[in-house]
Structure 1
Amino acid sequence: MSGPGADAAAPSDGAEQLRAYREAARRRLRERVGAIARGPVRAPLADVLRDHALVHLPPAAAARLRLVHPSWARVLASPLFAVAHAAAPRRGSGLFVAAAPDDPGLLFLPLDAADTVPSPPLAFLPASSPPAVLSSSHGVACCFSPADDAYFVCNPATGSWEGVPCPPCRITWPRPAIVVVFDASVYNFGGDFTLVCAFESAPGSGIYCFAVFTSVTGAWWVADAVAPAEGLIPASGVAAGGVAWWRTTIGTAVGYSPATGRVELAVCPGDSAHWEIGSAAGRLHCAVLAADDVVVFRLDGHGGCWEVAATVSVAEILQQRRPWQPDSSSDEEAGNRAEQDRTGAITAAAGRFRMPRDDVRLLPFQGTEVEVVLLAGRRVVAFDTARRRRREALLPEQPAGADWGAAAYAVHTNTLAQVARVVLMEPPDDQEVASPS
């Protein structure tokens, strides 16, 4: 039907449809709001803290909260909580250090007073003397007892441990070059781990092979890959992105991936006499001492090239607190002085602070963020390059014959990570004679 009446009715029909659509939208919105209002009451603060904050606490602090409520004790005792705790982002807790190669003492130097381990000498291990901590990853450490010729994988924060057999190659140096690779993702429910041992194919050859042990197989095997790594430094081992890395005395870093079986090589981007490697956010980093600055580089996983991640002056890292404290005359004046302390004090200190490079040593580092760790005398200072904050610890007086500057340091992060049970298996037939004579 056509005509003036039909044309006049069309706009009216469109307006009715628009009103109907809007009313339906309002009705759906009212239903959703009503459903939310009829939902469960908002969780109490105690439950929010239990479910979302406990996972970020150091293990020692979390253990003290077991008595708050039975529900907190159940959460803290859950294996799922241990997995989540290991996967949560956190920074390095401290460093294991032996006073001297022939000294049986083992120290743990915490960078935060609340983030320590119950037994720094790792007395829970069945060893006749305190072992050496070879490497650590996400709270899981690999230890070696020279007196017993025994290897252990343990969690120093919880005291759990597993014994592992010796590698199929006899170690000819005092400290084996073993790196523990631990997957801290939420999918590693069993706490499975991998050990990678680098050893020279023949004494003095400079060619290194790699032996691999996994908690799943319960046996060592020797990989087919080899790498030129003259002067490999056993104590420099670190895990980054599932790859075991070491420094060498010729200014290179060599890595082996047990997942892919590939060898990776990287050349020091600066003065190889003053550099250290570490792990940050799952990627390999290195810190280089250049003149009065520390430059941190990040390894590009695609091209194997280094890119600058941060630069910080040694003067800023080792800056002492100003001798004066702000007056309480006004908040504005205190704020002005705080600003002067952040800016002008560092510039002034740079002019009067001149510590020779030989008196400053870079130490290994690990964590979610880049944190440069320096040893100056007995001071160990960890500097967060993003937040410009420092943590500091003081080594004890050096025992007779000890040299903190030459000691071996193993960086460690406390977590509640579980350590998988190991069922030892016999090595393959073709691996029984893998050890060099």
Structure 2
Amino acid sequence: MSGADADAPSSEGAEQLRACREAARRRLLRERVGPAPLADVLRDHALVHLPPAAAARLSLVHPSWARALVSPLFAVAHAAAPRRASGLFLPAPPGAGAGFLPLDAADTLPSPPLAFLPASSAPAVLSSSHGVACCFSPADDAYFVCNPATGSWEGVPCPPCRITWPRPAIVVVFDAGVYNFGGDFTLVCAFESAPGSGIYCFAVFTSVAGAWWVADAVTPAEGLIPASGVAAGGTAWWRTSIGTAVGYNPGTGRVELALCPGDSARWEIGSAAGTLHCAVRADGDVVVFRLDVHGGWEAAATVSVAEILQRPRNRAEQERTGAITAASNRRIWMPRDDVRLLPFQGAEVEVVLLSGRRVVAFEAATGRRREAVLPDQPAGTDWCAAAFAAHTNTLAPVAPVVLMEPPDDQEDVAS
């Protein structure tokens, strides 16, 4: 037997002995300390999954819970935790504040929403990502990045090119990773290089740089729809009226294009698990597609509109949601012609439909349904054509902004 062969068993035995000693040490430590109290387990592992409003009410349970809820580390972890969309921001009628339609009774905002912003008129929510929203006050020509759940906000300067009125095509890109302790954010504004050209450029603002600059990238995006903006995987995306989705990634400087996989007159884009998805109406179904790494679409789920909206329970709901009675007097449910897809975001695929004043969110994987009813239609507001912004309540911090001068080679653009 060689020397190497002789040493092998002894080396293996020494390794087993060390493993046994380590296991014994951990067992003795557990016996001394004992199991963690249930209150500590709930504080450390459950609070992060609660909506901000529900978590705030639990701060009275114990001083350690109150300390955890105001901890910056807890705020970051709360923003990073997977969760469903909380609801939709509604367009503000003249003379009224911005409205918010929660999809869960416990996942709402302080009322009235956005009242903490120093705006002379109701601001419009342009986009939202992981609880951080970008708002615009037309009366003040002012922009704010804020967390509607916590009331924290920062003012940002106007983008360098103001030809995107009446609604700027701005998307807030927020990294909800556990390393974004400061709450840094990025804004991406798409604008036409010349009015009516259909060629779009991109202006970028970051909380770190404190100034806007215009990227080198340009792309055809005829009929870009400003209100359709959504952030997914670090990229800002918009739909166009010609059946394409246009994306710009400020981290890589790349432009991405994707063709609508179905009827472009009945589709909506959204974010699920950090990836761009789109929902398409196809006859009586809604088909959800996921954008793959090659820029193509792959089917993720198919759900019937009737299943999402369900059979009405009574005659009043029947009339409101479009049920009809067949000649045989058997009740057959048919969706209304004005059923519309709405923006969506969250950890899982959730189809959101508007039918009359009903807003129904349907989770494709579990079949879980959430429903809310829009308020009476204010004068001059058409819910079927209104611009909604999906929003998820979190405790995400918003980074302070130190404004800087634009780069020398872009002073003319910013003026």
TM-score (norm 2): 0.89
Post-superposition Cα deviations, 1:178-234, rounded to whole Å, max 9, x if no partner, equal 000000000000000000000000000000000000000000000000010000000
TM superposition shift of 1:354: 1.7
TM superposition shift of 1:41: 1.3
Q: Does 1:353 align with 2:333?
A: yes
| CA distance in structure 1 between the partners assigned to 2:295 and 2:102 by the alignment | 33
Q: How does 1:314-329 map to 2 (within 5 A)?
A: 314-320=305-311
| CA distance in structure 2 between the partners assigned to 1:282 and 1:355 by the alignment | 31
| CA distance in structure 1 between the partners assigned to 2:27 and 2:102 by the alignment | 52
Post-superposition Cα deviations, 1:96-134, rounded to whole Å, max 9, x if no partner, equal 01155x564421000001101113441100000110000
| Count of residues paired in the alignment | 388
Counterpart among 388, 401, 423 of residue 367 in structure 2: 388
Aligned counterpart, 1:169: 161
In 2, are the aligned partners of 1:277 and 1:285 still within 8 Å (CA)?
yes
In 2, are the aligned partners of 1:170 and 1:435 still within 8 Å (CA)?
no
Given the superposition, is the C-alpha separation of residues 227 and 35 from structure 1 closer, same or farther in structure 2, using an over 3 Å criterion?
Answer: same
* Paired residue secondary structure (2:371): strand
Q: How does 1:61-80 map to 2 (within 5 A)?
A: 61-80=54-73
Aligned counterpart, 2:303: 312
Q: Does 1:90 align with 2:83?
A: yes
The letter of the residue matching 2:151 is G
In 2, are the aligned partners of 1:142 and 1:153 still within 8 Å (CA)?
yes
Aligned counterpart, 2:386: 407
In 1, are the aligned partners of 2:97 and 2:115 still within 8 Å (CA)?
no
| CA distance in structure 1 between the partners assigned to 2:112 and 2:281 by the alignment | 30
* Paired residue secondary structure (1:432): helix
Aligned counterpart, 1:422: 401
Aligned counterpart, 1:326: none
Larger radius of gyration: 1
Aligned counterpart, 1:254: 246
* Paired residue secondary structure (2:281): strand
The letter of the residue matching 2:250 is P
* Paired residue secondary structure (2:209): coil
In 2, are the aligned partners of 1:140 and 1:419 still within 8 Å (CA)?
yes
| CA distance in structure 1 between the partners assigned to 2:175 and 2:283 by the alignment | 37
| CA distance in structure 1 between the partners assigned to 2:394 and 2:377 by the alignment | 29
Given the superposition, is the C-alpha separation of residues 74 and 251 from structure 1 closer, same or farther in structure 2, using an over 3 Å criterion?
Answer: same
Q: Identity of paired residues, percent?
A: 79
The letter of the residue matching 2:184 is D
C-alpha RMSD over aligned residues: 2.2
List gaps (5 residues or longer) in structure 1: 1-16, 324-349
Counterpart among 29, 35, 38 of residue 45 in structure 1: 38
Aligned counterpart, 2:195: 203
Post-superposition Cα deviations, 1:117-173, rounded to whole Å, max 9, x if no partner, equal 113441100000110000000000000000000000000000000000000111342
| CA distance in structure 2 between the partners assigned to 1:273 and 1:28 by the alignment | 67
Given the superposition, is the C-alpha separation of residues 351 and 243 from structure 1 closer, same or farther in structure 2, using an over 3 Å criterion?
Answer: farther
In 2, are the aligned partners of 1:121 and 1:130 still within 8 Å (CA)?
no
* Paired residue secondary structure (2:369): strand
In 2, are the aligned partners of 1:98 and 1:105 still within 8 Å (CA)?
no
Q: How does 1:78-227 map to 2 (within 5 A)?
A: 78-100=71-93, 102=94, 104-227=96-219
List gaps (5 residues or longer) in structure 2: 1-9, 315-329
* Paired residue secondary structure (1:46): helix
- Deviates further, 204-213 or 61-70: 61-70
Given the superposition, is the C-alpha separation of residues 167 and 80 from structure 1 closer, same or farther in structure 2, using an over 3 Å criterion?
Answer: same
| CA distance in structure 2 between the partners assigned to 1:257 and 1:27 by the alignment | 51
